[in-house]
Structures are given as C-alpha cells and as structure tokens.
Amino acid sequence: MAADIGNDTRNIKYYFSFIALGVLTGIASSVFLHLLKIVTSLRFRYSYLIYFLPIAMVAVNFCYKKFSPISEKGNNLIIDEIHNPKRDIPLIMIPLILFSTLLSHLFGASVGREGSAVQMGGAIGNYLAKLFNHSKRKRAVLLMAGCGAGFGSAIGAPFAGAIFGIEAIYLNARIKLSTFLECLIASYIGFYTTHLLYAPHSNYIRFKFLGFSWNLIFYALIAGAAFGLVARIFVLTVEKSKLKIKTLGKPLLITFTGSVVLLLFYFVLNDFYKQRYTGLGIEVIQQALIEVVSIKDFILKFILTAISLVSGIKGGEFTPLVYIGTTMGSWMSSIVVINPNFLAALGFCVVFGSASNTPLACIAMGAEIFGYELLPYLFVAMAVGQFVSGKKTIYTSQIVKKFR
C-alpha cells in the first residue's frame, strides 16, 4: 500500500514537471522575445552601437569563461547529457545565454534566437529533474521536452517543437509514444504561455488554395537539392573553420578578430544604417516571401553568419539559416518564373532542417507556419535536401540512426 502511494506521488511529480516546464519555458521565451524586440529597436535607432560589437562580444565570452565554461557547449551540452549523463547542467546557463544573445543582437552580430530558447528550456528541464529527484531516464525526457518547449514557444510552432526536442537528439530513433506526448504537453503549454504574455512572434504568409501540381513537385525536387547542398556547405564550413581556429588558441582574440571582420563587412556593404544583414533579418525574410530578392542576400548572410558562429559569438543558428533558405528560394523563383513565396517557404524550412538533421520537425513547422497546403511539396523538398546534405549537422552531439 505504501509502495503504491509512493509510486503515485512520483508519477504526480513527474507529470507536474512537464506542466511546470511548459509554463517556465514559456515565461523565459516571452521575456527573451520582448527584450529582443527592444534591443533590435535600439540598434536600428542608434546604429553607432554596431561599432562596439568587438568589445561587447569579448566581454560576453569572458563572462562565460569566468562563470561557467561548460555552458559554452550550448545545445550540445544538453544533447550530451541526454546520451551520457555525467554532469549537471548549470542553471546559470539561462541568464548567460539570455543576456549574451541580447548583446549579440544589440551590437549587430548575425545570429538567431531559437537556439538560445532551446538552451533555456533544457536548463529549466534539468533544474526540475533535480528539484523532484527524478531518475536519469526521466531527466532525459525532461531535457528533450525542455528543448522542444523552448523551440516551439520561440518560433510559435508547438507541434514542431515537440518533434524537434526528440529529433535534435536522435534522428530516425524509435521513441515511445508516451515520451512524445510528454514533449507535446510541455511544448503546447509553453506556446500558450507566450500568447498569454503577448510575446512578439514573427508573422509570415499562409498558403491558401495552392492545389496540387506536378510542375511544383518538380520545382520542389530541384530546389530541395539546392537547399540541401547549401546546408551541407554551411555545416562543413563552420565545422572545419572551428577546428582550424581552435588550434590557434586565444579564443577571446578570435572573438575580437571575428567581430572586427564583421564590422569591416558592414562598412563595405554600407549596412550600418540599412542593417539588412545584422541581427535576425526578419524584415528581409518577410520581404523574400512576397517578392524576389537579390542573390547577394543569401550569400552575404551565409558568410556573416559563418563568421559570427566560428568567432564564438553567442546566439542561435535557426533564424540565419531560415534567412539564407528563404532569400535563396526567393531568388531561385526568378529563374523558373514562379511566385517567390513557394520556393521561399520551402527554403525557410529545408535549409535549417537539412543543416540540423531535424526534417520531421521542420516539415511540421512549415505546416504550422505556412499552412497544410504546402505539405506534399515540403515532403519532397525535405527528403531530397536531407539526402544531399548528408549526416553532418550543426548539432555535433546528435546521434543519427539508420532506418530499420
């Protein structure tokens, strides 16, 4: 009898953990998104802030090394702990990634936001696992659910978030239905919490009456291959550059030098006032979904994002990769002479999905953001993109299993 009561209590604590995880992650994402909107507005208003990028980024990385060096691993730390739990995920990771990402955007680095929300969600999941003294297996599920809740609440796609929390850890793995449902609970609660707190999510076009066309299937197939190739080049560029630069030592000097290189690019591009390539670039993504943009947009964003990440500047990869894919698709539409929104929307999903090895999550994301009319074309483009991009991923700790 006492054993049954003990089991019931543990189960109540376990399922309550997912509710608390969703609420806390939703609050964290809301605070983050509101502050991000403020710092982005400040950067546009006071463009001279960009000149302080090198000093600010060195200060951020110094804080990481001083207060929590292990937190520098970011998302890969959380993934490692799910696969092979050895150490605690420090709660200080939350304020570190929050304020470092805000400073990156305030001073004009080319980084994203969703990756930061993923880290906050994972750290919250770890804290709840400690608080309620859950087992290693339950802790792993809470970490996955936290990552998913962070992703889903930040981008406004909770179903995709639940899948992302699992897929970013294990690609092609067989997961228990109960694990997925637990991730789903946390992700949806996190999403609705951000709505209650009026978090400023980005808005994009939705497809209506797209219909089915073999011509569009063909375009999706060709575009998917191109998106997958760009994702592959991006992952390899960042990975090999990081390995080469790591041998030089002096990470703070690398961060300073990389930030100076970014400033030189902005100066040459005369981007201090236009700010087309700094920060998130949401306005450019929205523009690319309704009209054709220049080929230089995705090429320059590719270069600037790679420099930012290789230099150790903190922030996410999601939005820059979405920017690259969307502007690339928009430009490609001028070659085949179709409405730019179709290929741009495919690029929005496929480049990140291929670079992160999270195809199912990004298919779900595309359906949630752009509408279910896009699904058949998104499946085709994602399958081809995933094949072309290969197993390399921005999440180096991810385990990729073969289909059986």
Range of the domain at 51: 2-196
Q: Are residues 180 and 315 in the same domain?
A: no
In a domain? residue 13:
yes
Residue-level pLDDT at 401? 56
Q: Are residues 385 and 332 in the same domain?
A: yes
pLDDT digits (tens, 9 = 90+) for 128-137: 999 998 999 9
Q: Are residues 246 and 316 in the same domain?
A: yes
Q: What's the mean pLDDT when you consider all of the chain?
A: 92
Task: Give yes or no for residue 297 having a pLDDT over 60.
Answer: yes
In a domain? residue 202:
no
Residue for token pair 């609440």: 153
- Count of the separate structural domains present in the chain: 2
In a domain? residue 205:
no
DSSP strand pairing (399-400 vs 170-171): parallel
Q: In DSSP terms, which residues pair with 316 in a beta bridge? A: 112
In a domain? residue 206:
no
Q: Are residues 361 and 304 in the same domain?
A: yes
Residue-level pLDDT at 397? 79
Q: Are residues 227 and 344 in the same domain?
A: yes
CATH of the domain at 67: 1.10.3080.10
pLDDT digits (tens, 9 = 90+) for 75-106: 899 999 988 888 889 999 999 999 999 999 99
pLDDT digits (tens, 9 = 90+) for 151-169: 999 999 999 999 999 998 8
Confidence bin at 400 (pLDDT 50/70/90): low
Q: Dihedral sign for Cα 310, 311, 312, 314, please.
A: negative
Residue-level pLDDT at 403? 39
In a domain? residue 226:
yes
In a domain? residue 207:
no
In a domain? residue 374:
yes
Give whole-number Cα distances, 42 to 111, 200, 279, 282, 399, in Å.
Answer: 17, 16, 12, 16, 40
Q: Which of 196, 222, 238 is the last residue of a domain?
A: 196
pLDDT digits (tens, 9 = 90+) for 29-61: 999 999 999 999 999 999 999 999 999 999 999
Q: Are 328 and 350 in contact (CB under 8 A)?
A: no
Q: Are residues 183 and 233 in the same domain?
A: no
- In sequence order, the 6+-apart residues with CB closer than 8 A to the CB of 326 are 285, 288, 289, 344, 345, 347, 348
Structure tokens at 67: 């207060």
Q: Are residues 230 and 317 in the same domain?
A: yes
pLDDT digits (tens, 9 = 90+) for 370-394: 999 999 999 999 999 999 999 899 9
Q: Are residues 269 and 339 in the same domain?
A: yes
Q: Which of 133, 168, 196 is the last residue of a domain?
A: 196
CB-count exposure of residue 182 (10 Å: 0-12, 13-18, 19+):
buried
Task: Give yes or no for residue 260 having a pLDDT over 90.
Answer: yes
Q: Which of 138, 165, 196 is the last residue of a domain?
A: 196
Q: Are residues 339 and 192 in the same domain?
A: no
Q: Are residues 302 and 332 in the same domain?
A: yes
- Between CA 329 and CA 349, with CA 341 as vertex, the angle to 5 degrees is 55
Q: Are residues 220 and 151 in the same domain?
A: no
In a domain? residue 203:
no
Confidence bin at 247 (pLDDT 50/70/90): confident
Q: What percent of the chain has pLDDT over 70?
A: 95
Higher pLDDT, 5 or 174: 174
Q: Are residues 260 and 369 in the same domain?
A: yes
